[in-house]
Structure 1
Amino acid sequence: MSPLTEQQLLQILPNARPVAGIFVPALNRAMARFGIDNRLRAAAFIAQVGHESGHLRVLAENLNYKPDALLALFSRSRISEASARAFGRIDGRPANQPAIANSIYGGAWGATNLGNKAEGDGWRYRGRGLIQLTGLSNYRAAAAALGQPLVDKPELLEQPEVAAQSAAWWWSQRGLNKLADAGSIQDIGSIINTGQPGRVPHGADERRALYKRALEVL
């Protein structure tokens, strides 16, 4: 497969125009490194990271939730109703995003599922990169694979090169190239969004539309 061009990227992700020139070489290096090397794999990868990152423009998780959204999205074992009311965004008061992150990614759930054990780990290791890498365990594994000091400098995942490399590494680790070869687009989105196949991911319609466009362009 030929390297992705800036024109192709903008045909697939038109809202990426401000950052396309920076991301094209980063994406090409990341895809080459992790075997995203045919039309089906590249189309699936670009569609998914495009959806996850708001067309490559959002590299750190936005936790600006209202209380009711927090209660709907996360179980009471992750955030209590009192905390949701105290930390969520209401008229005249922004969300307390560090407190939200430390609630939903900390505590017993965060320690078991994400390796977040120290105070503040939830916010420190919130979702970053093109596929929202989340939690100390994932940061540590990516750091070892990519040779980047992500545990000490988690903000590196907000740089285009590392954001792209981490997404392609995560993709490869979870066998998504095989699913892309099979055209299992909903399962890819489900694994990215929910951690397992067989579910309808958030933004399923946009993921499919971006994938269809990518197939036409590549």
Structure 2
Amino acid sequence: MNDDVEIAHFLSQIGHESQFKPLEEGLSYSAKRMREVFGCKEGKYDGSRDECVIGRLREKLWTHETYYARNPVNLGNYVYAERLGNDIEDSGDGYKYRGRGMIQLTGKDNYRDFTVQHNANSPDDIRDFVNNPDLLTEIEYAVESAFFFWCNKKDKNGKALRDIAKTGSVLDVTLVVNGGKNGYSDRDERHSRVSKVIREGK
């Protein structure tokens, strides 16, 4: 990676997702916060009404509030069920394959694909991230998984994230990385700061 524009996007997105720490997604949200993050179509939530602007995406975050609020396991299993290669809510896949690593790799498909690529590139360090997902919280794999995601992720039209990052806006990149607009203002602010540092370092 040697394109300054792409590097600025890469670092600012990681900065938002994990603050450059090999974290795992916490998912211990208050009732209102879980609805804001996961509850609404297109992420459009009106906090003053505790309601979605254009419609609810996950109804049970309202109707079964006490089951999911402040309960990372239940919430993860619900909001990530039947997505990203995960099985149904009761399978436990949602929480098991929650976000981990520098860019919060999420979903069984991503853990499986990362396993394949890592083992192909590192035959002396064979790992199974599907059966041992917590390995992604180790610094070596946390960083490697971020590059894996960045180099393999595409938008819904099949355009590579790397290409978008070289020509697109912070919003364009955020929509691919996050799948929505969560944390957009922070990502934008970080991008401005990183871009300035890169320019001044020339």
Q: Normalized against structure 1, the TM-score is what?
A: 0.67
CA distance in 2, matches of 1:170, 1:214: 24
CA distance in 2, matches of 1:64, 1:200: 16
Q: Normalized against structure 2, the TM-score is what?
A: 0.72
Within-5 A mapping of 1:1-218 = 36-54=1-19, 56-57=20-21, 59-75=23-39, 78=58, 80=60, 81-88=62-69, 95-106=70-81, 111=82, 113-117=83-87, 119-147=91-119, 148-174=127-153, 175-182=160-167, 184-194=169-179, 202=184, 203-216=186-199, 217=201
CA distance in 1, matches of 2:165, 2:197: 13
Alpha-carbon RMSD across the aligned residues, in angstroms, is 2.4
Cα pair 1:79 1:104 within 8 Å, conserved = no
Distance 1:74 1:58, change over 3 A: same
Cα deviation for residue 168 of structure 1 reads: 0.9
Distance 1:48 1:214, change over 3 A: farther
Q: Percent identity?
A: 33
Q: Report the secondary structure of 1:114's partner residue.
A: coil
Paired letter, 2:115: A
Structure 1 gaps of 5+ residues are: 1-35, 89-94
CA distance in 1, matches of 2:29, 2:114: 28
Deviation track 1:136-158 (CA, whole Å, cap 9, x = no partner) reads 11111111111231101101111
Paired letter, 1:51: H
Q: Report the secondary structure of 1:47's partner residue.
A: helix
Cα pair 2:22 2:136 within 8 Å, conserved = no
Structure 2 gaps of 5+ residues are: 40-55, 120-126, 154-159
Distance 1:200 1:100, change over 3 A: closer
Distance 1:214 1:67, change over 3 A: same
Paired letter, 1:122: G
CA distance in 2, matches of 1:59, 1:69: 20
Distance 1:60 1:156, change over 3 A: same
Cα pair 1:128 1:163 within 8 Å, conserved = yes
Paired letter, 2:84: L
